[in-house]
Amino acid sequence: MGILELEGMEFHACHGCLEHEKVSENLFVVDFRAETDMRAAALSDSLEDAVDYGKIYDTIADVMNGGHADLLEYLAGKIVKEIASGFPQLLSFSVRVSKRRPPVNGTAAWSRVTLTYPDTVSA
């Protein structure tokens, strides 16, 4: 087994429940972590035997840059569903979506949601 991670993927997008969040971009950061069998790739040095993390990034970017979402939970859930259907070789994985300076009545640098597969969201 092995761990595949993509950390700190940055997207400027308009997601959120409040009206100003629907028109003003904010910084969102997505972190991805998966457990997968890496034995074949470790022996072959061949992309065909590995999970193509470039395609995982593209899948995440498509969701983050796609239509508006009110909730971080919805964004994370949509990413999980897309990755689960596009990368069936992944045994389990998590997606964390973070939003810079969330609109709260005080100081908060980030709000974050983490969903896991297969525990919380099915494909």
Helices (H), 27-117: 39-44, 53-64, 72-86
Given the structure tokens 């629907």, which residue do they identify? 22
- Contact (CB, 8 A) for 64 and 28: yes
Helices (H), 65-113: 72-86
What single letter denotes the amino acid at residue 9?
M
Would you call 99 a catalytic residue per the annotation? yes
Count helices and strands (H / E) in the chain: 3, 4
Given the structure tokens 């400027």, which residue do they identify? 12
Which is the catalytic residue, given 22, 55, 81, 99?
Answer: 99
Rounded Cα distance, 24 and 88, in Å? 36
Kindly list the catalytic residues.
99
